[in-house]
Amino acid sequence: MSEVYKNEDIPVNDPALAGLDDEDESIPSSERFRRKIFKMVSVGVVDVFINQFYDVLSTSMLIINLVITILNTYDPIRAEYGFIFDPVELVTVIFFGIDYVLRLYTAKCLYPNKSHGRAVIKYIFSFTGIIDFLSFFPYFLPTFFPAGAAVFKMFRVARILRLFRINAYYDSFNVIIEVIMRKRQQLMSSMFIILVMMLASSLCMYSIENPYQPEVFSNAFSGIWWAVSTLLTVGYGDIYPITTAGRLFGIVIAFLGVGIVAIPTGIISAGFVEQYSRLQSINSGEVEDVNFIRIALKKSDRWVGKRIMDLGLPAGMIVAVIQRKDDTIIPRGNVRLAEGDLVVVGADSIKGDKPVYMKEITICRSHRWNGQVLRELDISRQTFIVMIKRGNETLIPKGDTIFRDGDIVILYSKVKDKISDDEKSEEL
C-alpha cells in the first residue's frame, strides 16, 4: 500500500517520507508543524515518542473496534454488554474521523509536488483515502437515513482494510504485494481465461439442461452459478445436471476447473521463487567495503549552515547520513547542516588500494615522548603523526608541537608493523 515520493530529505525509517526536515528554521513554523503531524500519522515512523505512541494508539483503536463489531453479532453478549460496546465504538469511530482530518491536513506532505488542494483531492480518491473515509463516515449515516441502517453497516468491513498499514513494520507482507504487482499482467490474463470459461460453460449447460429442468436452469445466471461452483471446485450441489449429456459436460468442466484454478496459483508461486532468487542474487553479489566516519558539527565549523551541494567534497566521498536530534535523515543536495548534527561521511573503496595502518598512542608521564618536541622524535620515515587529541581539542601536528601527559597521538604507517615497540598503541 505504500508509495515512494521523491524529494530532498528521506528519514531512514520510512522512505516514503521525503523532504521532511521539520527542524529547518528557514521553513515557516506552520509548515514545520504540518510535517511533524505527517510524521506522527505515518505508520512506522518511531523516531520520537509521540510518533510511536500514535502508532500504538491507532492500532489499538482499530483492534478494539473490530473486536466490538464481532462481539455485537452475538445477541447474548450484546444484551449484557451493549451499554459498554456502543460508547467504546463511538470513541474509536471518532478517532478514525480525527485521523482522517489529520491526513487531509498533511496531504501536501504526502504529495509534495502538488498544491495543497490537489494533494487533498488525490488523497481523498486514493485507495487508502477511501478506506479511511469509510472507516468512520457510514457510522453516522443511520442518524439521518434510518431506513438504510442495514446497508450502512456493510461499510464497517472497510475498517478491516486499515490493517494493511501494519505492512510498514513487516517487509514479508510487502513481498506478497510486490509479487502480485510484478505478476499482475499474467494474473489478469488467467482471470480473463476463467471468465471466458465460465460464460461458455454456463451457456452450454443452460442449453442442455433447461428443457429438462427449467425450474433449476431457468436462465443464464443459473448456469453461471453452476459454472462458478464447478470450475472453482467448490461443488455446492444445489444445482446439478440430470441428463447424460449434461453430466458428461459437467465432468469435462470439473477437470478443466482443476487446471484453471492452478493457473493463478502457479503464477504466484513462480513469482515468489523469482523474488527469492532475485534477493539471493543481490545478497550474493560482489561486496566492496565503504569507509565511514562520524563528525559532530560545532557552531564554529565551516559546514554549519551550508547545503550538502556546497560542501565541495572530493569525488567518491559522500555525506551518507545526518543524525539530527531524534531524526535520522538521508541527505539530498539542498539539505542544510546545522549545529549539533552528527554527519556520517563515507568514501568509496579503491580497487587495488593498499590498506592503511593506523596506531593510537596514549602519552603518560613516563612515556619517552612526554615533553618532547615533535621534530626531535626519532621515528621511522614510513610513519607519520597525523593527529593529536588533547582533552577536547584536536591538534594538527606541527614541528614545534610539544607532547604532554594525556595526549592521544594517531600515527599512520605505510607498512604494517613498521611502528617501533616504543610507539605501540598501549599506554606505557
Q: What is the pTM of this model?
A: 0.53
In a shared domain, residues 127 and 188: no
CATH number at residue 221: 1.10.287.70
The H-assigned helical ranges of 106-242 are: 107-110, 116-124, 127-134, 137-144, 149-153, 171-182, 184-209, 220-231
CATH number at residue 323: 3.30.70.1450
Domain assignment of residue 243, yes or no: yes
**Buried residues in 350-377 as b, exposed as e (16+ CB within 10 A):** eeeeeeebebebebeeebebbebebeee
Q: What is the pLDDT of residue 82?
A: 83
Confidence band (pLDDT; 50, 70, 90) for 7? very low
Q: Which long-range contacts (CB under 8 A, 24 or more apart) does 233-239 make?
A: 233/257, 233/258, 233/261
Q: What is the pLDDT of residues 261-309, one digit of tens each?
A: 788 888 888 888 887 777 666 555 555 555 678 888 888 888 888 888 8
Q: How many structural domains is the chain composed of?
A: 4
Q: What is the pLDDT of residues 197-209, one digit of tens each?
A: 888 888 888 889 8
Domain assignment of residue 4, yes or no: no
Domain assignment of residue 5, yes or no: no
Domain assignment of residue 370, yes or no: yes
Stretch among 40-49, 239-248, 365-374 having the lowest mean pLDDT: 40-49
Q: How far is CA 65 from CA 57, 61, 144, in A?
A: 12, 6, 22
In a shared domain, residues 322 and 338: yes
Q: What is the pLDDT of residue 167?
A: 62
Q: What is the pLDDT of residues 138-159, one digit of tens each?
A: 888 877 777 666 666 777 777 7
In a shared domain, residues 222 and 136: no
In a shared domain, residues 58 and 130: yes
In a shared domain, residues 279 and 229: yes
Are the C-beta atoms of residues 406 and 363 closer than 8 Å to each other?
A: yes
Select from 357, 364, 356, 372 the least CA-distant residue to 426.
Answer: 364
* Strand (E) or helix (H) holding 52: helix 49-71
Distance separating alpha carbons of residues 41 and 138, to the nearest angstrom: 22
Are the C-beta atoms of residues 328 and 343 closer than 8 Å to each other?
A: no
In a shared domain, residues 340 and 364: no
* Strand (E) or helix (H) holding 105: helix 75-105
> Is residue 356 scored above 70 in pLDDT?
no
Q: What is the pLDDT of residue 147?
A: 67
- How many beta carbons lie within 10 A of that of residue 348, not counting itself? 13
Q: What is the pLDDT of residues 317-339, one digit of tens each?
A: 888 888 887 777 877 777 888 88
Q: What is the pLDDT of residue 31?
A: 85
Domain assignment of residue 102, yes or no: yes
Supply the Cα-derived Rg of the chain in whole angstroms: 34
**What single-letter DSSP state applies at residue 355?**
P
Q: What is the pLDDT of residues 56-66, one digit of tens each?
A: 898 899 889 88
Confidence band (pLDDT; 50, 70, 90) for 422? very low
Stretch 63-77: mean pLDDT:
88
Q: How many residues does the chain have?
A: 428
Q: Which residues span the domain enclosing 261?
A: 184-283
- How many beta carbons lie within 10 A of that of residue 38, not counting itself? 21
In a shared domain, residues 342 and 366: no
Phi, psi of 236, deg, nearest 5: -65, -30
Residues 6+ away with beta carbon under 8 Å from 182: 271, 274, 275
In a shared domain, residues 138 and 243: no
Distance separating alpha carbons of residues 5 and 69, to the nearest angstrom: 35
% the chain with pLDDT above 70: 79
Q: How many helices (H) does the chain have, and how many strands (E)?
A: 12, 9
Domain assignment of residue 47, yes or no: yes
